[in-house]
Structures are given as C-alpha cells and as structure tokens.
C-alpha cells in the first residue's frame, strides 16, 4: 500500500518523463547515468533498488554507535522513513556539504540527511524537504570562573554577553562551511561594527569543548545541539540567541520532486505521532543524552564498541574475519553480556550451547576471554562446513552466520531447494535466504530434497540480515585498529 501511494504521488511528475525502455539495467554506472539524465526517476529508482542511499554526518547526536547499537537523530529519522518505504537504508558519512552535493548530482546518493539549515543561497542548488525540526543559532560562551560561588544571578550575568551589540570586536570561532558565517556577517552589518570570524576545521561540538576549556572565547551552535553540550559542560552558557528560528531539513537534487514530495507526505503523518516527539526528546531533551555523548563506548567520543574489543581483535585471526563483524554477531547474540542465557540454554557472549562449551572444555563458569575464543573457533568450524562451491568471501560469511544460528544441515536443505527451483544455491540474498524462510512451510520441509525437516527460518534470516547491516554501521563509524 505504501509503495502504491508513493507511486501515485510521483505519477504527475513522471508522466512528463521518458519511460524506461524496459531493458534490464545491469550496472550501477548505467543506473547513475539514467538518473542524471532524468532526476524525476528518483523515488522509483529507490523502490526498484529496494534501498535508499543517504549521506549524513558523524556526530554526537546525528549518527554514532553506542554500546554496539547504531543510534542518532538523523539515523533513527532515516530508519523510520525507510521502514515506511519498505526499503533498506545504506548510510554514507560525509562532513563536507560540497562533496555531498557532488554525490547527489552524480546520482551516487539519493538524499542528504545532515540536518541542513535552509537558506535562500542553498535553495539555488538544492531542493529542501519540509523541516524535520526548527531551531535557532545561539552564542556559546563560558561562565565566569568561580560562578558556582557567586552570590547573585546578576553577578554571573554581568560577565556574559546578552546583547549582540556587545559582540563588536569579539573573536568567534565557527565550523568551516556552516551557515554560521553568513549569520555573523549579517549580524555585524546590523550592529554596524566588526565581528572577527575564525573558520575552524573542528566540528561544532569540539569548538564547544574548546570554549569550556578556555581555549577560545566564543562559538555558534544550533540551539538543539547546544542543549546537549550544556548538560555535558556545566560552565558554558547558551542562552543568547543570534538568529531567528530557522528550518532544519533534508535536501535533494534540484528537480527531485518525487523524493521531496514523498518525504513531505511521510513527514506530514509522522509529525503527528508520539514517536516523532519521543525521538526529539531522546536526543535533545533527555538528560541521558549527555551521558551517552561522553561515554567511552560511544564511537564519536571513544571509538570503542564494548569492553571486549581487544579480546575480539586478539582471536579474530582464528577465522580471519574483520573483528567488527565478529563484534556485530556478538552484539546480536548477547548484547555484550557475558552471563546472557537463552530460553534454549545457550550461554554467554557468543551464545554457545552447553554441548559446544563442553567440546572446548568449558561450562557456564567460563570467563569472557574463554567464551570469545571458543565462540570464534566454533564459528570457524561452521565456516569449514560450507561447500567449496560458495566461493565469494561475503557469501561464505552469510552462509556461516546462518549455520552458526541454525546448524549447517538446514542451510544445506535450503541450498538444495534453491537449486531445485532454478535459483543460485551459492548466493544468500534473494536466493538461499528465500528458501530458508520457506522451510517453515510443510510444502517445502516435506520436499524429498529436504533431509533435516522443519526450521524457524525467520530467526536465521533475521540474524544474517541484522548482523551484516550492523557490521556496515560499525565499518562506517569504528576505526579498524
């Protein structure tokens, strides 16, 4: 139903466009060229591909990993939108708006989801969606030394700028490439004096940190982001506005009417829901947001996934996988809880069954290092059971994850069914994965090529999909060191 609504929304735009020639477009290059020549095919292309490719930035509230879980306001907003579309989300990280615009123009991405301030200048180059939120820009300044012991509120206020006229001659550091420069230039004109603008390569939250430490005197930030930092740094003040309320939106390529109309239609409904308000509160109002922002296990501030990163790296060579992939599986199995137990008796970080623990001379008293080493050895054993015909390394990983979850027998059954129905038994997605799901249907698990019978295929399907998806997020945000 959602896809039908989307296609109806874009039909007026698409009516004037050349129709596709019906031939299969077999390469990414052809698809991008097709899009560049006809950007109105934007949303149709997303649905056909079954994936939205978005670019966002890496930040303490926009997109990060916390204790193994992808999080962030932009990330969750995008996930909600792609769930509405019924497509997957592929996220790319880019801090440079100009570079993001180049990716958009070339058809390599579908949308910019950086939380951009809408300005007339930017509207010359981008089509903006309806706002996902509104905010204003505020001056970030440091409270006077010893403010905690000052006798009155007025005594503190006397050290702070409350009238923008008093910014005359002051040095203000801002993130390079932001709209803050335009705002300060406009402000300087309105007060008929000069403001010394220092463009800095550091992210705005790092500049706020510099204000708190006394390294610089002033910076500018969007108020909703400054609120998070103000809970983290008690000695900064963010109460002085330097702009009127402004729209924060996503951006599409000029002429991408189908994309913009689809986002706006979804936003119109989403903004009426409790989920919309809870999402804002989660990242900008809830006091826990500041605790998350400075955690060692926040990829933005600490670049760590779990207390077991070093152990995973140590034993990853047993199977030769990227340690972040093993960490994604571990999060899926136990959320990094060494004493986790499942309803079927699986135990520990890697959710090993008692019989597997026993094979490695262990039981439920095994410490995290023993659990990880045994789990990766068991993973390697499962990989050795995958037929040599599965030659692609990524496909072997998916088959191994599936076997780790359900046992190799069921996966071999699914391969035989796949081959029987003239699909590729050496490819997981849209091939063997489909028959793993069908193995809960008696018409399939009673088939003569099925030796191991019924399986709960949805659990295995979900594990492979979620582990691989999370692994991509880990690769985006966690350094491989």
Domains and CATH numbers, the chain: 2-131+250-293 (3.40.190.10), 137-244 (3.40.190.10), 309-477 (1.10.530.10)
Distance CA 449, CA 453 (A): 10
Any idea what the Cα angle at residue 86 is, between residues 83 and 88, rounded to 5°? 75
CA neighbor of 94 nearest in space, from 146, 53, 141, 135: 53
Tell me the pLDDT of the chain (481 aa) as tens digits. Answer: 555 555 555 544 444 344 333 333 444 554 555 555 555 568 989 999 999 999 998 888 899 999 899 999 999 999 999 999 999 999 999 888 889 999 999 999 999 999 899 999 999 999 999 999 999 999 999 999 888 888 788 888 889 999 999 999 999 999 988 899 999 999 999 999 999 999 998 889 899 999 999 999 999 999 999 998 998 899 999 999 999 999 999 999 998 999 999 999 999 999 999 999 999 999 998 877 777 777 888 888 778 899 999 999 999 999 999 999 999 999 999 999 999 999 889 999 999 999 999 999 999 999 999 999 999 999 999 999 999 999 999 999 999 999 999 999 999 999 999 999 999 999 999 999 999 999 999 999 999 999 999 999 999 999 999 999 999 999 998 987 7
Question: pTM of the predicted model, to two decimals?
Answer: 0.80
32: closest CA among 92, 110, 126? 110
- To the nearest 10°, report the CA torsion of 357, 362, 363, 367: -110
In this prediction, residue 380 carries a pLDDT of 97
Buried b (16+ CB within 10 A) or exposed e, 124-136: eebbbbbbbbebe
Residue 31: its pLDDT value, please? 53
Check the CA dihedral 146-152-155-156 and report its sign. positive
Residue 357's region, left for phi above 0, alpha for psi from -120 to 50, else beta, is alpha
Answer for the pair 110, 46: CB distance below 8 angstroms, yes or no: yes
Residues 6+ apart with CB under 8 A from 404: 329, 378, 379, 382
Q: What is the pLDDT of residue 32?
A: 52
For residue 25, the model assigns a pLDDT of 41
Q: Which residues contact 381 (CB under 8 A, 6 or more apart)?
A: none
């Amino acid at each position: 139903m959602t896809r039908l609504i989307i296609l109806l929304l874009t039909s007026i735009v698409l009516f004037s466009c050349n129709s596709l020639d019906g031939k299969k477009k077999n390469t990414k290059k052809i698809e991008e060229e097709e899009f560049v020549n006809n950007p109105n095919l934007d949303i149709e292309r997303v649905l056909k591909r079954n994936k939205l490719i978005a670019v966002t930035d890496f930040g303490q509230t926009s997109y990060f990993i916390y204790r193994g879980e992808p999080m962030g306001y932009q990330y969750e907003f995008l996930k909600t939108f792609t769930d509405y579309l019924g497509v997957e989300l592929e996220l790319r990280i880019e801090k440079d708006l100009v570079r993001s615009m180049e990716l958009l123009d070339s058809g390599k991405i579908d949308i910019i989801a950086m939380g951009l301030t809408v300005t007339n200048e930017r509207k010359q180059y981008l089509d903006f969606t309806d706002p996902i939120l509104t905010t204003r820009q505020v001056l970030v300044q440091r409270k006077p030394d010893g403010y905690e012991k000052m006798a009155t509120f007025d005594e503190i206020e006397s050290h702070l700028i409350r009238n923008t006229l008093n910014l005359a001659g002051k040095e203000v550091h801002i993130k390079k490439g932001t709209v803050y420069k335009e705002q300060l230039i406009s402000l300087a004109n309105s007060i008929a004096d000069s403001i010394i603008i220092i463009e800095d390569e550091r992210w705005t939250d790092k500049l706020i940190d510099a204000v708190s430490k006394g390294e610089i005197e002033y910076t500018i930030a969007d108020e909703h982001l400054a609120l998070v930092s103000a809970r983290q740094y008690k000695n900064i003040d963010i109460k002085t506005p330097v702009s009127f309320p402004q729209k924060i939106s996503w951006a599409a390529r000029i002429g991408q009417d189908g994309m913009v109309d689809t986002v706006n239609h979804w936003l119109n409904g989403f903004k009426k829901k409790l989920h919309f308000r809870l999402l804002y509160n989660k990242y900008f109002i809830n006091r826990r947001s500041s605790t998350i922002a400075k955690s060692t296990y926040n990829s933005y501030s600490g670049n760590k996934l779990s207390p077991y990163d070093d152990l995973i790296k140590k034993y990853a060579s047993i199977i030769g996988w990227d340690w972040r992939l093993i960490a994604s599986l571990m999060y899926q199995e136990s959320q990094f809880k060494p004493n986790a137990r499942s309803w079927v008796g699986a135990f520990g970080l890697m959710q090993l069954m008692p019989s597997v623990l026993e094979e490695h001379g262990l039981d439920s008293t095994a410490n995290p290092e023993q659990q990880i080493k045994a789990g990766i050895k068991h993973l390697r054993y499962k990989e050795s059971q995958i037929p040599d015909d599965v030659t692609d390394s990524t496909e072997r990983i998916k088959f191994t994850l599936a076997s780790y979850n359900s046992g190799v027998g069921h996966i071999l059954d699914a391969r035989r069914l796949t081959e029987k129905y003239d699909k590729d038994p050496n490819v997981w997605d849209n091939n063997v994965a489909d028959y793993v799901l069908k193995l809960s249907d008696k018409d399939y698990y009673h088939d003569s090529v099925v030796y191991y019978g019924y399986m709960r295929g949805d659990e295995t399907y979900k594990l492979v999909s979620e582990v691989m998806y999370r692994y991509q997020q880990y690769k985006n945000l966690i350094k491989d060191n």
